[in-house]
Amino acid sequence: MPMEKERYPQNWKQIALEIKEKADWKCQKCGKQCRRPGEPFDTHKRTLTVAHLNHTPEDISPENLKAMCAPCHLRYDAQHHAETRRKMKMAKAIHYSPDMVCPYCGNEEFYVKQSYRGVCNYNMRFDMNNDNVENGDMHEFAQYKTIGKYAYCNNCGKRLFPTSEIPDC
């Protein structure tokens, strides 16, 4: 699976370098000595990588990171990659239904990207009773236009289904 760089911290290269140096450029799974920076390239099999043991790139806690040679890292991630491919294949087959839930996280709410144009009138009451004011007509003069091609999960942000399947969208 390709690396989703937006999920990694900005200083990921430095974090990964520290993990590799702490492991003395050896795979912590099989013990293979891997290529250090500046050594000539010979094979990807001697490339040291850093694996996220829980497959969550945002989790950079030391107990979640392990230096692994490329073959060990690929073997470690194989089941996770297969599951991700299965979910992606399933996501491509998702179609809208009024009672649908997100297949990734179970959330029932989704959103579509829209543009807004017009005037918003917001009424605020200043009285002693602190009564709420009805603002149901605040968008009366607004024009909405769906600009997104897909609906997304409100919780996990994953793409769900084409907006063309949503009635009145």
Predicted pLDDT at 73? 95
**Mean pLDDT for back-to-back runs of 10 residues, the chain (169 residues):** 81 96 97 94 93 94 96 94 78 68 86 74 59 60 73 87 75
**How is the chain classified by DSSP, letter by letter?**
----GGGS-TTHHHHHHHHHHHTTTB-TTT--B-PPTTSPP--GGG-EEEEETTS-TT---GGGEEEEEHHHHHHHHHHHHHHHHHHHHHHHT----TT---TTT----EEEEEEEES--------STT------TTTTTT-EEEEEEEEEEETTT--EEEEGGGSTT-
Predicted pLDDT at 140? 65
Predicted pLDDT at 103? 84
Enumerate the domain spans of the chain: 5-92, 110-165
Predicted pLDDT at 109? 87
Which pTM value belongs to this model?
0.54
